[in-house]
Amino acid sequence: MRKLGYSNFLRNGDNCDIRRLLAIRKVVWFTRFCSVKGYRGLVERYLEVEVSGFGRDGSPIKFDACGWKARILQHEYDHIEGLLFVDKMVPRTFRTTANLQLVLPSGCPKLGVYEASTNL
């Protein structure tokens, strides 16, 4: 787990952690960043994560997230670490929204959920 000094999604300024849960499944999907309008890239994320930190009143909080919520929390966590989706995207998958239906380059993972064995 990594400790942070600022959290956009907990909005407290205290430390927060995010880590994958024991079920090691990932999802590959196109993602975007609002400041890079009209473009997307494939990013691999854990399908289930555990988030812990401190609430606005300073009390500890801990919750699990899965699916879309887990993907969004990991996306926001990347921002805390100074990363954009282009820093984490699968190589050769950056494209305009008009070209999302084009065939992915050879060697790219398929869209969807799969089993993985690496840590976040």
Dist CA 45 CA 26 (whole Å) = 5
Annotated active-site residue in 48, 50, 76, 115: 76
Residue 10, CA distances (Å) to 84, 107, 118 in order? 19, 37, 26
Q: State the CB neighbour count (10 A cutoff) for residue 88.
A: 16
CA angle 49, 53, 56 (to 5 degrees): 130
Q: In what order do the strands lie in the sheet with 25-31?
A: 95-96, 39-46, 25-31, 112-115
48 assigned to active site:
no
> Could you give the residue numbers annotated as active site?
76
